[in-house]
Amino acid sequence: IGIALISNPRVLFLDEPTSGLDSFTANEVMKVVQGLIADGTTIAATIHSPTAATFALFDQVMLLVRGQLVYFGPQGLPALHFAASEWPAATAASELLEIHRRAEAAADARSGGNGGGGALVSAGLAFNDAEVLVEMVTEADQRGEAGVLAAAYNKSSLRKENDRQLELYMAEAASRTQATANRRCVLGRIGIVQPASSGNQDVSSSASTPSTAAPIPQAFSTAFKEDPSSASSTTTAATSKTTAAFAAADPTQPTPLSTSLADKVSQELATRSETVIPWYWGLWTLIKYRSGHNYRNPAWLGPRIADKLLISLIILTLYLGVGDNLAPANLMNITASLFMWALLPAFGAASYVPAIVLERRLFIRERADGLYQVFTYLAAKLLEELLLSLILTLVLSTYVFYGLQLRGTWVVFWLVYFVDLSVGVVLAYLIAALSPNMDVANAALPAFVVTLLFFAGQLITLDSIPDWWQWYSRIDFLRYAWGALMLNQFEDHNVNFAGDVPILKYYGLQGGDKWAYIGYLALFWLAFTIMALLALTFVRHQKR
C-alpha cells in the first residue's frame, strides 16, 4: 500500500489487505485505508472474512458468484433486506433482519424512544452481516443457484436504479467542459468481501463516494419504511440509529470535500498526458536515487568494468609496442589489434542487457503509476551508463594507445572507443526491449554481433564483399569504428601491404575521413536510441 501511495493515485486497488492479520490489526489497517478518501482517492478492495467493525467501514458491497453479479449496493442492513426479499432460500438474511429489528426495538423502548447509544452499539456489533452474506451466496453456489441469484438482481429495482445512476454519470461526464471536468466524479471508498472457502465464487464489495457522496439508490431509501414486517416508524428510526452506531458514518449522508480539493482532483483527472511529473524532475529523481545506488554497488559495477579491463590488458600485453613497427610483416598484427579494439564494445554490450530485462516488471509498474515517461527512463539509463563509460574509456584507451605505441592521435583512438561503446549500450537496450526474457536476449545480441564481424572489412575486404551483401556492410557500425582507427593509424603512413598495394587501398579505406566515420558511429547511436525508445514504448511482453 505504501509503495502505491508514493505516486498519490486517484484510484487505489487493494487485494485482501487484511489477510494474515488479527482482527484488531485488520481494523486498524482498514481505518487507515478509509482515511485516504479525505484527499479524494477512490479505494477498491477485496477483503477476506472481515470483522463487523471492518465491514462497517465500507460504503457499498459488490457480490460476485461464479463471475456473475448478484448484488451491488449499500452494505449492512440494506444488503440483508435485498437478500431476504430477492434471493430464494435466503432464510439466514430474514432471521438476521428479524433479530436486528427486535434488538433495536427493545433498545429503543428501554431508552424511552430517545435511543440508548451504548445498547444500540452492542446490538449493532452483535451481528456480522458480511458472514451472513458470504454464507448465503456460498450455499446458493453449492446448490447451483448462481444464475438464479444473478437473474434476481438483474430484474430488481436496485439494478435499474444503478443503471440509471451510471447513465447519469456517463452523460454528465460527456457534457462537462475542460474547466469543470470530473468535478462531480465518483471518488469514494470501495470494499470487497470474499468467502473463506468456496471454489469458484467471488464475493466482493464496492463503494463510491463523489465530491458529495453518491446517492443511495431509491430502492433502499424507503426499503424499511415499505417493509410490512417493520414494527413501527419508531423501529425504523431505531434502525437508522443502530446503523449509524454500527458504521463509522451513514453512507446515505453527503460527505462533502472541500472546493479546493475538488478543483485539484478535477485538474488531475482532466490531464491527458501519461504523467503530470515533468521529465526533468523524473530524470533527476532516477539519477539521484537509482544511479547513486548503482555506482556504490559492486554487483552492478563489476560486469561493466571487469570484461573491458581484462580484454584491454590482454590487448596491451599481447600487442605491446606493435604500432610503431610498420614493416609489412607486422601490418597484420596492427590491423588485428585495432579490429579487436573496435570489437570489444560490441561483445561487451551483453552486460547491459539485464538493466532492461530484469527491471521490466518495475518499469511497467512505475509507468502504470505515472511516475515518468519512457523517454525519461531511457535517458536516465543512458546517462547512468555513459558517465561510467566516459571515465572507463579514458583510462583504458590511454594505456592501450601508448602501450601499443600507435600512430595518429590519442583523441581519435579514445573517441572511437567511447562512441563505439555507447552504440553497444543502446544496441543492448534495443535487443533487451524486444526480447521477452533474458534467454532470448542473451542469444540474440551475440548472434547479431557475430554477423557484423563478417562485414566490418577486416575478415573480408570491403571490395571483395558480394554486391548482394554490400547493403549490410554499409549498416555495420563496426565497419566505421574499425575504419576510423585504421585511418587514424595509417593516413599519414600509408605503407604498402600485399602486392605493393597501400594498406588503406587494400582494405577499401583510401580517401576516407576518420571524423566522418566517427560521425557515422554517432548516427548509429542516435538510430538505435530512437528504436530502443519505440520498443520500450510499444512492445508489450506482459499479458495485462
pLDDT in tens, 349-375: 888 999 999 999 999 888 887 888 999
pLDDT at residue 271 in the model: 59
pLDDT at 126 over 80: no
Which range among 143-157, 196-210, 435-449 shows the weakest confidence by mean pLDDT? 196-210
3-state helix, strand and coil shares in percent for the chain, rounded to the nearest 5: 65, 5, 30
Question: Residues 49-92: pLDDT tens digits?
Answer: 788 788 888 888 888 888 888 888 887 767 766 776 666 655 55
Q: What's the confidence (pLDDT) of residue 432?
A: 95
Classify burial at 379, counting beta carbons within 10 Å of its beta carbon; exposed 0-12, middle 13-18, buried 19 or more. Answer: buried
Phi, psi of 417, deg, nearest 5: -65, -45
Higher pLDDT, 380 or 255: 380
The residue ranking higher by pLDDT, 103 or 479, is: 479
pLDDT for position 185: 41
Which ranges of 229-359 does DSSP label H, i.e. alpha helix?
233-246, 259-269, 279-286, 292-295, 298-318, 328-348, 354-357
pLDDT digits (tens, 9 = 90+) for 383-436: 999 999 999 999 999 999 999 999 999 999 999 999 999 999 999 999 999 999
Q: Are strands 11-15 and 42-48 parallel, antiparallel or unpaired?
A: parallel
Mean pLDDT for the chain overall = 77
pLDDT for res 544: 60
What pLDDT sits at residue 204? 47
pLDDT at 203: 42
Kindly tell me if the per-residue pLDDT of 18 is higher than 60: yes
- Top pLDDT among 314 and 204 is at 314
Averaged pLDDT for residues 461-473: 92
Query: So what's the pLDDT on residue 140?
Result: 77
pLDDT band at 446 (very low <50, low <70, confident <90, very high): very high
Nearest of 315, 341, 466 to residue 413 by alpha carbon: 341
**pLDDT > 70: percent of the chain:** 72
Q: List, for residues 227-261, the tens digit of each pLDDT value.
A: 434 333 332 333 333 333 333 334 344 444 445 55
On the 0-12 / 13-18 / 19+ scale of CB atoms within 10 A, 153 is buried
pLDDT digit string, tens, across residues 173-186: 777 644 444 444 44
**pLDDT value at 330 more than 50:** yes
pLDDT of residue 272: 62
Q: Model confidence over 258-281: pLDDT tens digits?
A: 455 556 656 665 656 667 788 899
Question: Given a cut of 60, is residue 193 above it in pLDDT?
Answer: no
Predicted pLDDT at 118: 46
Model confidence over 475-524: pLDDT tens digits?
A: 999 999 999 999 999 988 878 887 788 899 999 998 889 999 999 999 99
Instruction: Give 199's pLDDT tier (boundaries 50, 70, 90).
Output: very low
One-letter identity of residue 522: A
Helices marked H in 49-128: 52-55, 77-86, 91-110, 117-125
Give the residue, 99 or 487, on which the prediction is more confident.
487
Q: Which residues contact 494 (CB under 8 A, 6 or more apart)?
A: 502, 503, 504, 505, 510
Q: What is the pLDDT of residue 143?
A: 79
Q: Which residue has the cell 452506531?
A: 245
- pTM given for the model: 0.66
pLDDT at 214 over 70: no
Joined together, the cell numbers standing for residue 409 give: 592521435
Q: How far apart are CA 489 and CA 510, in angstroms?
A: 12
3-state secondary structure of 180: coil
Q: Checking DSSP bridges between strand 193-194 and strand 11-15, what pairing results, if any?
A: unpaired
Mean pLDDT, to the nearest integer, of 11-37? Answer: 85
Which is more confident, 258 or 44? 44
Average of pLDDT values for 289-312? 92
Higher pLDDT, 260 or 297: 297
Q: What proportion of the chain, given as a percentage, has pLDDT over 90?
A: 36
- The C-alpha cell of 490 is what? 595509417
Give the whole-angstrom CA distance, residue 131 versus residue 151: 23
Q: List the domain boundaries for the chain.
A: 9-266, 301-538
Confidence of residue 534 (pLDDT cuts 50, 70, 90): very high
CA 7: distance to chain centroid? 11
